[in-house]
Structure 1
């Protein structure tokens, strides 16, 4: 076992003072810090800086039920925000990107359906490049359409990708102006290797990176696919997964949700965030729902399929997603207790439709870039976790969906307890 230096620090008021804000209360987090080689572990035992759960208060909404076409969204697939608060929205139905100023006024529409210069035949994610250029991913064609900086100026940047499955990952832009795009490769169906293509500021691919997950493989079941003449695997519901995102500095943020442990790569080593947590129980009814749903789905491919993998667990993993904010904060999407809800769109003739669903309310843990646990955020009703929200300090931009399914992009401000920050 390698030598280990223990800096066992019980940090309370010192961490609480770093970013308490106007609405915070309490003594702050109880933390142990350890140094293990080039890895610094910040483990929160209890408490947090804010002292109370935070919510998100709407500041501006873009999108209408009726009105000018540029404010009517069909299916929002990605959003991006520049340093001046301008908001860009990718509409997967219209195959275009619409730009709005910080007050919500429409300023431009980019792209459109097609194969020509600046046009999109498929839609992935968008990002803002240095100089105000807008990048839109056309994933099935393994290219990125770049708009600007001059009006009607476009470029097409190519990258290597060959996967059968395309993850819904955002585009990342690092301080050097390089763009990083999820570009998985696959030698056979079901054997997908997650990787990231790195394109320079000139659009030429420079490198390919693989997130450092170790050798973890999620618990899975197998199904035989006649088309491929082989079996492929599918993860068991509510089990641990590999998660990754990229920090604004271009380094990976990774975690395997077997434990509450998240690694932030850096030039000087790794910062590991850990937190003591109470596992969320899975009821027998929820386990039955997921087992029946998986079985029904598998039998569409293999009619005689029966369960052939690990059982659905009795507790959920600690987290289900990682997002790095533009300011370097880490937002950890948590697993929460689910509840049964009648499916108003249930179609008994559709084998993939369920009469009852089990939604889990959204909740995020938020950590500062040094591993300090700031607290939890409970978004309001209608807040969507897809497409990925934009987090920047106390400002959040996200898609919302109302009871009629109307989509809008909303600028929120974080509020702790009953006070403003």
Structure 2
């Protein structure tokens, strides 16, 4: 991990040192570079290194419809992969962490429900440290539960949890952990998001606010007789951030295609020209109706009185750092109206038809080089966070029966690419 991290910084240092202002036309992408203070901007105008779109081809699947318990997953909350390609699966429902070898064979199971040593009460997320210790964020026990490479190795690090967080548990190449934390100055627990940073030995180091904490996205609010409900305006820009394995934030406000990666010498800003994805009128109408029903559960009779729903989607909807330092950007795509096979006429939130947008990722090297786009298969899930490492991707898949599996995919280019 350390060697990889050093190589990211070496590449970025060269980029900062060599960056003038100009246009580079190579075999692949056409790129403009610029410097604004301590920020280097790498803007891809057209083209890509790959020269075309890539797909993900499944190579290995872990999980069954029936069989041994270790292969039956209830609700997968996190996955991780080590340098030897062993796979770690955190089953939030079973409150267990299961380890599998590179061929998918079960190795061991850790945890289990409870409050005793090594047990998990209300676990939320799992991550892997560079030395292969497994860390589980367990606010139910108000601790980080640490399992060592040997089964008998256990540590418990206390922390003050947030009331609830669906954030991943982040770790970096130095072995530090970034844990969703509560703002002690906010008695409600619904204030700004914070991250508590822990050293590899469990010592609290610092508490930091993620980037763009002052950004206020567009919202609509219903309020009556002391009851209040606030929802975000569908398809409005928002602040998006992740912790990069280099120990810095990658972030952006999705009103434009610009992603800032903090680096030791400043900021690397990754930009790309794009064609906005449309929000179709019927799609906007359904999103508006769902918002009205949601607020109406708290404030009966509420009707929309806020900003208009945009007619295009923000350029990107998610950021995903790879183990190799790459940045995977989940870009917005146009949706299609399809029949809702799970429609429940008795539910006010269920509709006969739903709008579904196919997943698509733009992939960048840590120096901002645009490699190309990846179109995953339909059963590929971006939640929980997939594991990206070079040409390999591990992710949760969901079949038509609702069965979860962990699948290893291989990035594959079209034959004529």
Q: Deviations over 1:90-135 (max 9, x none)?
A: 1122111110001110000000111221111212211112432111
| Counterpart Cα distance in 2 of 1:169 and 1:225 | 31
| Counterpart Cα distance in 2 of 1:265 and 1:130 | 21
| Kept in 1: contact 2:182–2:189 (CA 8 A) | no
Report the more deviating stretch, 140-149 or 80-89: 140-149
- Name the counterpart of 1:199: 198
Structure 1: gaps of 5 or more residues = 14-26
| Counterpart Cα distance in 2 of 1:44 and 1:198 | 34
Q: Aligned pair 1:254/2:251, yes or no?
A: yes
Report the more deviating stretch, 98-107 or 152-161: 152-161
- Name the counterpart of 1:57: 57
- Name the counterpart of 2:84: 84
TM-superposed deviation, 1:190: 8.5
Q: Aligned pair 1:290/2:287, yes or no?
A: yes
Match of 1:321 among 315, 318, 321: 318
Say how many residue pairs are matched: 399
TM-superposed deviation, 1:343: 1.6
| Kept in 1: contact 2:322–2:387 (CA 8 A) | yes
Equivalences for residues 174-213 of structure 1 within 5 A: 174-185=172-183, 187=186, 191-213=190-212
Rate the CA distance shift 1:214–1:194 in 2: closer, same or farther, 3 A. closer
| Counterpart Cα distance in 2 of 1:94 and 1:140 | 14
Per the alignment, in what secondary structure is the counterpart of residue 149 of structure 1?
coil
Equivalences for residues 229-244 of structure 1 within 5 A: 229=226, 231-244=228-241
Q: Aligned pair 1:71/2:71, yes or no?
A: yes
- Name the counterpart of 2:397: 400
- Name the counterpart of 1:302: 299
TM-superposed deviation, 1:223: 2.5
Rate the CA distance shift 1:405–1:214 in 2: closer, same or farther, 3 A. closer
- Name the counterpart of 2:32: 32
TM-superposed deviation, 1:406: 1.0
TM-score of the aligned structures, taking structure 1 as reference length: 0.90
TM-superposed deviation, 1:45: 1.0
TM-superposed deviation, 1:8: 3.1
| Kept in 1: contact 2:21–2:35 (CA 8 A) | no
Q: Deviations over 1:218-272 (max 9, x none)?
A: 110112376xx46453210111011000111110001000110100001100000
- Name the counterpart of 1:346: 343
TM-score of the aligned structures, taking structure 2 as reference length: 0.91
Rate the CA distance shift 1:140–1:415 in 2: closer, same or farther, 3 A. same
Match of 2:167 among 166, 169, 174: 169
Rate the CA distance shift 1:303–1:196 in 2: closer, same or farther, 3 A. same
Equivalences for residues 129-144 of structure 1 within 5 A: 129-144=129-144
TM-superposed deviation, 1:9: 2.6
Rate the CA distance shift 1:70–1:162 in 2: closer, same or farther, 3 A. closer
Equivalences for residues 356-371 of structure 1 within 5 A: 356-371=353-368
Equivalences for residues 33-48 of structure 1 within 5 A: 33-48=33-48
Report the more deviating stretch, 367-376 or 191-200: 191-200
TM-superposed deviation, 1:7: 3.0
- Name the counterpart of 1:24: none
TM-superposed deviation, 1:419: 7.0
- Name the counterpart of 2:24: 11
| Counterpart Cα distance in 2 of 1:341 and 1:185 | 42
Per the alignment, in what secondary structure is the counterpart of residue 174 of structure 2?
coil
| Counterpart Cα distance in 2 of 1:253 and 1:408 | 29
Q: Deviations over 1:118-172 (max 9, x none)?
A: 1112122111124321111113544211112332332222223334x52x22222
Rate the CA distance shift 1:191–1:114 in 2: closer, same or farther, 3 A. closer
| Counterpart Cα distance in 2 of 1:283 and 1:41 | 33
